[in-house]
Structure 1
Amino acid sequence: MICPKCGHENDEDAIYCEKCGKNLKKTSGTLGNQTKLLIGLCVVLILIAGVTAGVLMKNSQNTSKANEGSDVSKDQISEGTGFPVSLAPDLASEIEKQNGTFETIKYGSVSLDKYQCIYILSKATVMLNKNESGNITIKSVGAPDSPYGFVSTGSLSKDKYVDVAYRTYNWINTNGIAPNYVGISNPGQPDLSPDTILSVLSDVLSQYKSTGKLPETVAI
């Protein structure tokens, strides 16, 4: 054992330095504590690296989830097969590019009017919220009799816009036409017009396409 004070080489089991009398066991203990500290630091760094890798993996899985079905060709969509929920976020992005000014939009081999788009996006929002997959029926949807809505600013929380989507597609299923309006909290309140619903759900699903998850809030 080398004495840290004078450099004299002592026997490995020596307690004191034969030359200067330095207590060698205290030195050994100090070095042992330093070693333990270094090992502890390494363990912490390994744990941090593991957590970081887990977060990155989860984000990668979310992105993959958002892109599920992206290998399904648009040309495979038809009224007979239905509209894959996995492609609804891409449809939403195409709708956003139109700024809500379209009457019909060509998507793959099908042409969809805005009320069919409202049905598809509302049903897709509810399905994605439940982590469901499958195809959405492409059905004829009549125009509303007197569409209007008083709310055009603000924001909706996730539970609110999912509920709006649920009531929208259920109304269409029951009545065969788009609703004149949909209430945010009170179903009978004329809050959101069909055009506003289409805009909100297009934003919701466009964000889903980018992040792989439904946003916690969305602007009206």
Structure 2
Amino acid sequence: MKICPKCGKENSDQALFCENCGYEFAKTESLKRNQGSNLQEMGQAPAAKRSNGSKWFIIGGVALLAVIVGVGFAVANRSTNEAAPTTTVSSSSVDTSKYDDIIAEAKELTINGEYKKSNLKLSRISASDLGKNEFSAIADEVDELTEKNEEGLKQADDKEAAQKAQETERPDVTTSGSSSAFSGDYAKWANTYYFYYSQTSQRQSALTIGANGSVTQKNVNGTQYFGKATITSASGDVLSYETNEQYPSDMPDTKLINPNVQITVAWDGGGTQIYYGYLSYSSRLALTDGVSKNDGVNEVWIS
């Protein structure tokens, strides 16, 4: 049965128009179809929207994940890039000037011929530091100074060996019971002496005896003689001057003295000479050769 939507009259299912008011049922069916279509579309719309929403949610999630991953890589790269400067800063912060004073002091010692002290000074530099690239300049200076020190020490050893060989060849210098070292009771005789009274043809001016026995005689004309001295005790009487005056203008009186020591000088140019040492009345050290000359004494020296 069809019920007319306009008047409510019942009609047969096959009726195209209402028997009461003439309402056309085709409009009602068309409206129902349209409403059904609309309802169907309305029912599908949320699904489409939900589908589109899910799609954008997924896209947004992927994009967010990509952003997070990108930030992670950026932070990691930044950390890696920042690590390298840290190493550079650490390397550049090494104080390579901390050994400057030691190098300067060692150089001065080497120049002054104190080679052993220079090597001891250089030994204060850390060997581990010298193996580092930052200290390559310091290592070069240490090597150069060490080489100079070793050469200087070798030359000193060679010189000492030559001196010992020369002394061995001079039996007059190493007389039995003598000592070449002016030490102990003999130390005061290592001194500088001046010629006491000059006679005709006398040319000596000063005589210096070192603690190691070295002898240097300076002459009036500027020349010098060199030799090596040994010292022993002495006894007996020898000829000398009265040495009470400082600088006598006239020949002083001669006298016999009892010497304390005998000093024997072997001259480098050949020959030997003996001096007898005693303490004068004026408390000065005096040397005499005891040889008479022109009513006086050949050589007398006063400290």
Rg larger for:
2
Same fold at TM > 0.5: no
Q: By percentage of residues, which structure has more helix?
A: 1
TM-score by length of 1: 0.31
